[in-house]
Structure 1
Amino acid sequence: MPTYDRLIKHGLIIPNWFIFCQRDAETPDHIFWNCDSVRPSWHTFCIWFGFPEALSSADINSFLVLAWDRKMSTQVSKYWKAGIIAMIWAIWNQRNKCIFDNYKFCQRRLLHLVRVAFMEMEMNFKKLGHMDNSWEDYMVLRNIGIKGRAAPPPTFISVSWWPPTAPWMKVNTDGSALGAPGALSYGGVFRDHWGWVRGCFHYKHSMGYAFEAELLAVITAFRIARARNWNNLWIESDSTYVVGLLRKRSEDVPWRFKASWAGVLSSPTGFQLYITHIYREGNQVADLMANPSREEGWWPHEIEEIKHAARQDMAVHSFVRVSR
């Protein structure tokens, strides 16, 4: 950006003062944040969005970091971020007009340019999210002259774990990663048609992603079932990725798991595989087994840590999933 301080560093001989205040040196921080002529505009802008505390930022970079981290509804957030960009553009636009066209800086015109940017967004982009259906969001959108889009009402879904029918053995699996990538941990719980736990496992793996942990959980469950002659295996997971792979018989997995995954897909004669998806609210027993703080191992019985959750599942306890 060709501010006066940078042009001087490149050898241009010009007076280094900002055209708005005609006093302080023209630097990016002074132009866009610290100048006494610009601060009232930022104050008005932050008041529009109910965020006056942002004005305590020492420079424009600190403000941007604080502003981008602020939690807002999807509709307000898009106007907030677009408005910041419009403010910076409008300040630079006014600066150039003052220098080259002998304009006089006008705060009202600067804010008018920002409002025009909001109106253009409203006209040209139809999918700009929803407000939080709160008084605060209503006031923000009214301040900037935008009609609020009410969020749709939430949907409540009842989620329950159901035991398999005999002679099926049902295994619920889950996996997690401590980072992206991070250390992998995964586990699973086998239960019969009465809902009794017939075994559970927890293992760890080197660095990877959460979806890879979900893959490893299914691969391990398959191997355990084969070793114990549970030839009617029902796999249930909260990973749509893994469930989709199994249903499509897809081999599209990371190369380091291709051989093991091929073994799952090419089930031997007499071995039956059934796959279902369950929301995580109903997969709490497997989630407990995937906890990275747990020790590795296979237990051919129910362990104390999952006892309460397993009993809830046996009673077909309903959990509620809320989605929009």
Structure 2
Amino acid sequence: MSANQIIGKTSRWLRDIGSYLPSSLRTCSQEEFIMQSLGIEDYSPTEAVQIQLIKWSKPDARWLKVNIDGSIGGNLGTGGGGGGICRDHRGELIVGFHNSYGRVTNTYVEAQAMADRLQICKNMGLSNIIVESDS
């Protein structure tokens, strides 16, 4: 199911259940309705949220793309880890990887994950690498 299909079905579901709601909730915006349904009474959005669809794009024919990400349990949380994948110009998986880094910052996890992945690619004899990260 595509993202558009999921959004469409969710929107229809929210619209359909609206007829079963008390009249006090029918006049609310979708965000207010959702927050009230979750028991969050003091919700007041400060600015409009803009949603942007982000899609992975294939690298050119002679290139590989490494996508990495890191995560921790709160800054200096209980533990951090990072991982990623390397794909070719057809989107085919070349190698996937992950590692645990212990109690560190998110910046450390992201940087170390990048360094580790590039070392793995180097050890495999891979070159012409594009690296993408969210940090």
* TM-score range normalised by the length of the shorter chain: 0.5 to 0.7
Matched letter for residue 157 of structure 1: Q
Paired with 1:181 and 1:157, the residues of 2 have a C-alpha distance of 30
Residue 42 of structure 2 is aligned to residue 155 of structure 1: no
* 1:219-234 mapped onto 2 (5 Å cutoff): 219-234=115-130
2:100 — aligned with what? 204
- Say if 1:71 and 1:218 are closer, same or farther in 2 by CA, change over 3 A: farther
Q: Determine helix, strand or coil for the equivalent of 1:156.
A: coil
Partner amino acid, structure 2, of 1:198: I
Question: Of the two structures, which has the highest relative contact order with CA contacts closer than 8 Å and spacing of 6 or more?
Answer: 2
Distance of aligned partners of 1:181 and 1:154 in 2 relative to their CA distance in 1, 3 Å threshold: closer
Distance 1:180 1:161, change over 3 A: same
Change (3 A) 1:197 1:152: same
- In the superposition, the TM-score normalised over structure 2's length comes to 0.63
Structure-2 residue corresponding to 1:174: 69
2:10 maps to what in 1? none
**C-alpha displacement of 1:152:** 4.3
Over aligned residue pairs, what C-alpha RMSD do you find?
1.9
Shift of 1:217: 0.9
From the two aligned structures, give the one with the greater helix fraction.
Answer: 1
Q: 1:184–1:153: structure 2 CA closer, same or farther, 3 Å change rule? A: closer
**Equivalent residues in 2 for 1:112-261, closer than 5 Å:** 131-132=44-45, 151-182=46-77, 183-239=79-135
**Distance verdict in 2 for CA 1:153–1:233, change over 3 Å:** same
Q: Deviations over 1:81-108 (max 9, x none)?
A: xxxxxxxxxxxxxxxxxxxxxxxxxxxx
Deviation at 1:180, TM superposition (A): 2.3
Q: Give the CA deviation at 1:72.
A: 3.7
Identity of paired residues, percent? Answer: 29
- Deviation for aligned residue 1:71: 7.2
Q: Which runs of 4+ in 1 moved over 4 A?
A: none
Pairwise CA distance, 1:198: 0.4
User: Structure 1: which amino acid aligns with 2:76?
Assistant: P
Q: In structure 1, give the amino acid aligned to 2:94.
A: R
Instruction: Deviation per CA, 1:28-71: give whole Å up to 9, x if none.
Output: xxxxxxxxxxxxxxxxxxxxxxxxxxxxxxxxxxxxxxxxxx87
Matched residue, 1:307: none
Structure of larger gyration radius? 1
User: After the TM superposition, which residues 1-324 of structure 1 pair with which residues of structure 2 at under 5 Å, given as runs?
Assistant: 72-73=42-43, 131-132=44-45, 151-182=46-77, 183-239=79-135
CA distance in 2 between counterparts of 1:153 and 1:184 reads 32
Alignment length, in residue pairs?
95
Q: Which residue of 1 aligns with 2:16?
A: none
Separation in 2 of the partners of 1:198 and 1:170?
10
The TM-score normalised by the length of structure 1 is 0.28
CA deviation map 1:153-179 (0-9, x unaligned): 432312111111111110000111123
CA distance, structure 2, for counterparts of residue 163 and residue 198 of structure 1: 13
Distance 1:172 1:214 in 2: 11
- Distance verdict in 2 for CA 1:71–1:232, change over 3 Å: farther
How much does 1:220 deviate? 0.7
How far the C-alpha of 1:232 sits from its partner, in A, is 0.5
- CA–CA separation in structure 2 for the residues paired with 1:170 and 1:156: 25
In the aligned structure 2, how far is the partner of 1:189 from the partner of 1:234? 12
Deviation at 1:224, TM superposition (A): 1.0
